[in-house]
Structure 1
Amino acid sequence: MIPRRVRMAVLIAFLGHGLFILAARYRLSYDAYTHMLFANHYAENWFSLWETRWYTGFTVVSYPPLTHQLIASFIPLLGFDRAFALILWVVASLYPLGIYAFSRIFTGRSSAAYAALASAILLPIYVVAHIFGQLPFLASTLLALFAAASLDRYLREGGVHNFLLTVSLYTTAMALHHAVLMVHPFLVQAVIIKNLFNHRDTKTLGFNKTNSAVAVPPRLIFRFLLVCAFSVLFSLLVIFPFWGWGMDQTLQTPIDHLSRHNFLTDPLALAIFFLPLYGPLAAVIPFLVRKWQPRFIGLLAAFAILFLLGLGGTTPLPRLLFGSAWEWLTYDRFAFWACLTLTPFFGILFIRMKKRLRLGTKPKVVPLRRDLVPALTFSVFIVTTLGAWFTPIVFPLQPKPIEMKPIVEFLDKGDHSQWRYVTFGFGDQFAFLNLLTRATTIDGSYHTARTLPELRQSGLGQIDTSYWALNGMNAIIPILQRSGERGVRWGFVNTDTVQAAGLRWGTIHRSPFVPILNELGWRKVETLSNGVMVYENPNALLPNRVTPPDAPPFTSFAWGVFPMLAFVSAAALGALRVVPVQAEWIIRKIHAFVVGLLPIALCFWIYRIAGEFSHPRVYFTYDNALFFLSDALVLLAVVLWVAVQIAKPHKFPLANYPLPVILFFVFCLLATLSTFWSRDWRTTLYISLHFWLVFLFFLSLRDWHKTWRIAMFGLCAGLTIQLVAGFAGFGLQSTGFLDPLTMKWPGTLEPSVRGASVVQLENGFRLLRAYGTLPHPNILGGFVLLALLGPASLFLARQKPTYQTLLLLSL
């Protein structure tokens, strides 16, 4: 059960972050529009690995996809802006729960609850969420906290549920953001050391013989190695295209970043990447030098190393650990992680402070001091959090918002969108323009993925923001000199970058981009209604169509399915751990809804090729691995059912099932074993996996038999679709009316088409048989038969039919 203070903390975080989100402060952040563009990519083509709008095209496997896929799931309903805001709101609101779970590893319920309360109004979380806009990083760190707590529970208690939950959390965290890989070792070693000493050792830290050696239980070693092996395996598997892409990468020219500066000599770096990333918790740091119980050694070590890494170039530690790659990393994330490791200590110190106030004062003044000091403490948290609200106002982080509609309209004229463009001085909102137009640019906001040599060697993050970069104006000249051959014809200059320039006859005000553009021969075309100046590159060549690199079908399939599968597994197992009764009720309802959708999905044979194993003279549906929409629904239903079975403390009751179920199990087992002697093991494995999926789905329906009531409604809807489509196709004598659905089957068929299933009369007249929405009339007949077989069986068994059954039979 979640403690009352933790629930209160979640509510405070929901309201606090909600205020920022409803005010759309994320639009002023650095990275929000970048993540919206990635999410928009998946919303338009979930399985596509190639994005054309930046860098003349780049591969999206360069960034773990799960956060963007979650946003993309809501884009059809909310649009990319609101969908991003929704996921950000959910992630930020759950941080108190993550901090509580992490703090409980090392301390008691009360201390952990106060740590959670502090996190609800903790400045660094607000900074990362609403100023940096680093949603994937924020989400992956939250999962890392939950994973550490789950690891601790598994090491103490064991159990299949704890084991699978831990593995799924680590896997999902990796699918959210790859940077989390750098914090896992620190959190894991803190958990291991805590379990080595365990809570039973209450001696304070000291240099004595009792602390010089710690007995390591073999059970602890076995559990750790087991969970470590599976977590690494599935973390590699869930985003294996990313690891394959990363192996081929070389370092670019480093891009200057304030987090790498020396904080002792650069006050600006200190003000941006130290003070906001610790906030009031910086006051906890001096108390860490006191003696702590041995179980805190790992947590103290984690903080110390993360703290030193978070100082960037202030210490030589990043150079020593990362070698030449240290200049490509940013170190604000280490400071953020270090801050989170302080939260358990804050909770402990806060409880001790309350005890001292209660015991060390006179009875008459106890209530006042006992309430005043904690109130002042949390008031400091609130005041510093308000700094995140006023920072973009007092110290603008971005240029003023630009009205994009005139630019979009300009690009939509004639052939303008066939050419590429660049923006100058828009700031990070230039990615917003990329979302509104199909015209492409050589610029972009994800530096790691770019492949153009002139960009990789420039030392610039973006062409657009070179105005604010060190030596940026000179660095864009080589890029613009080659821009014509890249197809760049248009340049949009934000007049907000205008500055005073002294000449012999006086002072003029102009953008620093203008002299460079004039020198390179660019011509000013017009000034749009929003004040943006449009320049044209006379040397532009019409860009050729970029052909995406070939990728194996399984790669794109895995990229689109594996991360979401990991998320569903972790969410289901996690909910069943925290609130088991309520979670099982919700999971059963979702399972029933998914089963109800299944008959409708069977009406539309939408599929994705998961693997190509073609054989001569064999139709591709029989030997290639096809993943249908209906397969996805069955897989989701099975995962939800299996999660509930795992959470229940009982053994697998196969022996209690009737003989037909056992025979089905044996059949699936033999089908899988036949992979070893099959002529093509890939096709056999694919078919056997389908049998296992059907078997588990059957068990879920047998276990949760009330699901059939909802399934009846789905069968009614599916049968109605087939009746309407069948009569329409037969009446029109064509299946062309299904073309807007862009399905491969049945395609456009008419009686004259060779291979179409027809009835030929004596006079030679051909009638196209009813296809419905299915590939063949016989399949339509089978669908109708199966839809009616279940209801009819109720009558044969003399059971009372439901209204859904009567409706289905009437159809």
Structure 2
Amino acid sequence: MTASRRRTRLLLLALLLTGAYHGVLVLTRTGLKSAQAAEWLFLASAYARAPLDPFDDRWYGGVPLTGVSPLLPQLIGALSGPLGLEGAYAAAQFLAVLTLLYGTYRFTLLLGAGPRAAGVVTLLTLLGSALTLSVSVFGQLGAVLGAGLALNAAPALLAWVGRGRRRDLLGWAAGLLAAGAAHSAAPLLLLGTLALLPGVAGAARRRSVLAALAVPGTLLLLALPDALWVGEVTRVPRPDLRLGRSAWLTWALPLASLAWAAPALVRAVRTRWAGGAAGTPAQRLGTHWRAAPDSVRAALPGTLLLLAALGSLLLPVPWRAAPETLALLGALLLTPLSALAALRGWDAARGGARPPLALLVSATLVILGSVSLNALNATRVLEGPPLNLTPLLNFIEKDEHWRYRYLTVGFGTQLGRLSAQTRAATPSGLWHLPPDLPQPLAPPGAGAALPERLDLPGLGRLPEVLTHPDRAHLKFVYARSDVLDPLLFMHGWHNIGTLENGVVVWEREDIPPVPARLARPTLPAPLGALWGAAPLLALLVSALLLPLGVPAWRTDPPLPAGVARPADLILVPLTLCGAALALLLAQAYRPGWAAQRYLVSVTAQPATTGGLRGPYSRLDGARVQVTAAGPGRAQATVHERWWTPLGDRRATRRLDLTLGARGWQVREGGTGSVTLRRPTRSPQPEVVFYRAPRRITTNVTAPADVLDRPVLQVLPGRLTRDARGRVWYLSEVLCADARPADLTVTVILRVNGERVAQANVGLFAQHKLRSGERSPLRVQLPPLPGVTLDDLLTAGGAGRLSVEVGARAVVTGRHLDRPLVSRSRVRGGRIEVQARNASNGTVATPMALLTLFDGRGVSWVYAAAGPELPPGASWSFTLPAAPPATREVLAVPAPPHTDLVTVQPRPVPPGVFPLPGGGAYRLSFVTLPAPERP
């Protein structure tokens, strides 16, 4: 075997293992299950549609793409033509890994470690936990590609500083631009490379300063287009780096495969290297720094990156680089020193009388631990199994449903996969959500970290969006989970069916489609062209200037025996594995931990029945109090907080714990056999209402013009203000038509004729009305911009204020059954109600609306949500018999009647009961039917 082949055989072995290991990951599409894969697919589809226009209208109502590093999605978009999006992602993943491995090999040779150590570094990087997690779990392909490009540019950077050749300048400048375009944190590796420079003077010093300034300059240049948009730009606030992340996953596990090198790093820092130690402390420190081997000097910037990663998990920090990205970059700078320590231990083991069996066992544990991290994706709390999107995509294309925006429920990061394959838009996205990272031991409350709970950028909370869907042109909600069914139903949405893949489609009537031309921000055309072309050109130039032959610049002596001790390679991994195993086993003997594990196990899968305490609730947190009950026995009181779409619920659970050989065993106290009452069937037959067809016309018209619209009559109302300063509109609306109505009521507040506030009716109304039926209206108006209601009243009186009420509806035949009958009485200032399900179906979540009347109309509307009601079941509750302390601001007269009115409002509507002391009340119910389950 020749000397050149002997020098590169470890590199060839690493490349062979790359094909065997990461090639299998590519073929099995493991990377597509990572946390950021869906985001990369969406961005790649955007660049494939318009390479030179960094704007996409499918997320957040239209959003610039210049806030995300462009190189990786541009590369995937360029490869998607022949390979498809998912195939292009797999190809980009493999190219990114190859780039990183070749970069680490060249960078290690630059440090003077020699070809043998460079090959070991390549193997350690390939089989390390940092790369495995970045590719398969975190989806940090941009950081992997950027780190590889930066490491490949490091030799050209140092060569240009030392010699000043133009070829070297072009080599590292193109690599710097490409690395910064792949990930904004990747150029930190080039700054770490400059720290390896010995003392330089003259032109070399000026070039080193220029190179150091070029790194932040490049990052500012890449950030410039994002600041030069003209027009209203949707700025998506990024979540806090501490949300959704844990220190053990994003910091400890990436370093687990290099933990055995930590003692060597500590000893290397404390070692007095040859080179003299005279002068001041600063001079001694500088001499000590210059005399240390390059691998030690490279490890110190890596340590700073690791400390920055740990700091971002503990404290609010100004940078936006994710902790797992900084941990990857720090691990790459630590790997050369780790390789030298590994070679020292291997040579010492081979030189002994016995074979290095213990060392092989330790290495096997480390490699198996790293490879097994690919299975972490199966432990995501919020991410369900992969979804077949074909039926949903077909539905979106059918009947031009893509002209309306949509929301998803229960999709998780698969929203990105859906958005990448359709032209339909959504007011949501993935950029404002914390990452859904694996949690093998998920804490109580992890299942309630739903993305639907967060505010939508530019639109507010989800209930506000569902109340005003016309503002966002939101017509469809695709629900994989039924957790938001009560919120959707009580805001007037209705279920139109279930697709073949199990996705339930919710629709809101009377929503205008997205206009063909929307106002959007603009970016100067030259900047858009540079953004779309410069990163790929820089990548191409870097690849063309990359030498295939990798000479060893020099080979330094091995680390001293006092720095790299062979015992570290065996003791540290075995100690860490033993400590982790002992800690895990010891947890079972902690009663509080056992109670939490029991709680997580019983609440991991939501119940299929129970209403707000079943499929529509998620455990949001728990506080455990343990008290001793005797030797080997304990009792735990669990104070639970449950999230539901209609508000939080609290409960208390008692657990009995018994200490056994396998730890604390938990049994829920107070449990026993439950006797179920036989349901009472209703003697009345079910009623199915006729669904009127829509008008058919051959004329070109707006979509809203072909809707059958029943006539509505808004009754006199009032504008009030409560003790907290909130402004409410109170009234009733009557379906004055022979056809049932699906209504939308909009209240507009005007000052001197100018509109200052507008709101739709939300929860406090019945959105589906039979002919002649009334619905209460309680609408909260948003705060007035820059002025209060008191200012308006004191400035010019109520004459300046006017209220305009717009009520429109479409004919419907959905959800017109009224399954609940009720009895009520007034006692002690409260109205006691008993409602019974008189139908043959189960009511999942009933909501009662109590309308209070005085001599001038509606004075207040109360609401109460109830439990699941099987046929014949009853629900008892009480509500106040008097309105809260409010102040009437303005009496709102009823709009004039139209000639189409066929049902006149009665002076006293049916179902109204008098109140002692004056006034009256009426009860109405909004009932969500329980879904039919197999």
TM-score range, shorter chain: 0.5 to 0.7
Instruction: Answer yes or no: is the 8 Å Cα contact 2:247–2:313 preserved in 1.
Output: no
1:31 correspondence with 2:36:
yes
1:70 correspondence with 2:75:
yes
Residue 468 of structure 1: which of 450, 475, 491 is its match? 450
Corresponding residue number in structure 2 for 1:699: none
Q: How does 1:328-343 map to 2 (within 5 A)?
A: 330-343=322-335
Q: How does 1:391-790 map to 2 (within 5 A)?
A: 391-393=376-378, 398-447=383-432, 468=450, 472=454, 475-495=461-481, 511-538=482-509, 540-544=511-515, 545-575=517-547, 578=550
Distance 1:74 1:557, change over 3 A: same
Distance 1:260 1:146, change over 3 A: farther
Unaligned ranges ≥5, structure 2: 274-288, 434-446, 553-934
Instruction: Answer yes or no: is the 8 Å Cα contact 1:123–1:278 preserved in 2.
Output: yes
Distance 1:394 1:232, change over 3 A: closer
Instruction: Answer yes or no: is the 8 Å Cα contact 1:63–1:242 preserved in 2.
Output: no
Q: Deviations 1:18-53 (Å, cap 9, x if unpaired)?
A: 111111112211211221222222222222222121
Corresponding residue number in structure 1 for 2:52: 47
Instruction: Find the aligned partners of 1:525 and 1:559 in 2 and give their Cα distance.
Output: 43
1:163 correspondence with 2:147:
no
1:145 correspondence with 2:151:
yes
- Deviation, structure 1 residue 93: 2.8
Whichever residue aligns with residue 402 of structure 1, its letter is L
Equivalent residue of 1:311, what SS? Answer: helix
Equivalent residue of 2:512, what SS? Answer: coil
Instruction: Find the aligned partners of 1:128 and 1:122 in 2 and give their Cα distance.
Output: 10
Whichever residue aligns with residue 489 of structure 2, its letter is N
Whichever residue aligns with residue 373 of structure 2, its letter is A
Q: Deviations 1:629-663 (Å, cap 9, x if unpaired)?
A: xxxxxxxxxxxxxxxxxxxxxxxxxxxxxxxxxxx
Corresponding residue number in structure 1 for 2:788: none
Distance 1:193 1:38, change over 3 A: closer
Distance 1:251 1:577, change over 3 A: farther
1:386 correspondence with 2:388:
no
1:285 correspondence with 2:291:
no
Instruction: Find the aligned partners of 1:413 and 1:303 in 2 and give their Cα distance.
Output: 54
Whichever residue aligns with residue 418 of structure 1, its letter is R
Corresponding residue number in structure 2 for 1:302: 301
1:115 correspondence with 2:121:
yes
1:10 correspondence with 2:9:
no
Corresponding residue number in structure 1 for 2:910: none
- Deviation, structure 1 residue 333: 1.4
Whichever residue aligns with residue 136 of structure 1, its letter is G
Residue 343 of structure 2: which of 334, 337, 351 is its match? 351
Residue 186 of structure 2: which of 158, 168, 180 is its match? 180
- Deviation, structure 1 residue 235: 5.8
Unaligned ranges ≥5, structure 1: 197-214, 262-268, 449-464, 496-510, 581-811
Whichever residue aligns with residue 255 of structure 1, its letter is P
Whichever residue aligns with residue 572 of structure 1, its letter is L
Whichever residue aligns with residue 171 of structure 1, its letter is L
Distance 1:246 1:387, change over 3 A: farther
Whichever residue aligns with residue 543 of structure 1, its letter is V
Corresponding residue number in structure 2 for 1:192: 194
Instruction: Answer yes or no: is the 8 Å Cα contact 2:232–2:520 preserved in 1.
Output: no
Instruction: Answer yes or no: is the 8 Å Cα contact 1:466–1:476 preserved in 2.
Output: no
1:57 correspondence with 2:50:
no
Q: Deviations 1:135-181 (Å, cap 9, x if unpaired)?
A: 22221121122233332333345433222211111111112222335
Equivalent residue of 2:300, what SS? Answer: helix
Instruction: Find the aligned partners of 1:330 and 1:231 in 2 and give their Cα distance.
Output: 19
Corresponding residue number in structure 2 for 1:502: none
Instruction: Find the aligned partners of 1:56 and 1:141 in 2 and give their Cα distance.
Output: 33
Equivalent residue of 2:476, what SS? Answer: strand
Equivalent residue of 2:511, what SS? Answer: coil
Instruction: Find the aligned partners of 1:139 and 1:111 in 2 and give their Cα distance.
Output: 23
- Deviation, structure 1 residue 358: 4.0
Residue 207 of structure 2: which of 223, 228, 232 is its match? 223
Corresponding residue number in structure 1 for 2:756: none
Name the one with the larger helix percent.
1
Distance 1:289 1:166, change over 3 A: same
Equivalent residue of 2:408, what SS? Answer: strand
Whichever residue aligns with residue 568 of structure 1, its letter is L
Paired residues, number: 507
Instruction: Answer yes or no: is the 8 Å Cα contact 1:490–1:535 preserved in 2.
Output: yes
Instruction: Find the aligned partners of 2:91 and 2:266 in 1 and give their Cα distance.
Output: 41
Q: Deviations 1:189-243 (Å, cap 9, x if unpaired)?
A: x4334322xxxxxxxxxxxxxxxxxx54324303313444566666655674246
- Deviation, structure 1 residue 468: 3.0
Whichever residue aligns with residue 196 of structure 2, its letter is K
Instruction: Answer yes or no: is the 8 Å Cα contact 1:486–1:541 preserved in 2.
Output: no
Instruction: Answer yes or no: is the 8 Å Cα contact 2:407–2:426 preserved in 1.
Output: yes
Instruction: Answer yes or no: is the 8 Å Cα contact 1:172–1:563 preserved in 2.
Output: yes
Distance 1:159 1:422, change over 3 A: same
Instruction: Find the aligned partners of 1:80 and 1:548 in 2 and give their Cα distance.
Output: 27
- Deviation, structure 1 residue 128: 1.1
Which 10-residue stretch deviates more, 102-111 or 484-493?
Answer: 102-111
Instruction: Find the aligned partners of 1:163 and 1:470 in 2 and give their Cα distance.
Output: 49
Name the one with the larger strand percent.
2
Distance 1:255 1:482, change over 3 A: farther
Q: Based on CA coordinates, which of the two structures has the bigger radius of gyration?
A: 2
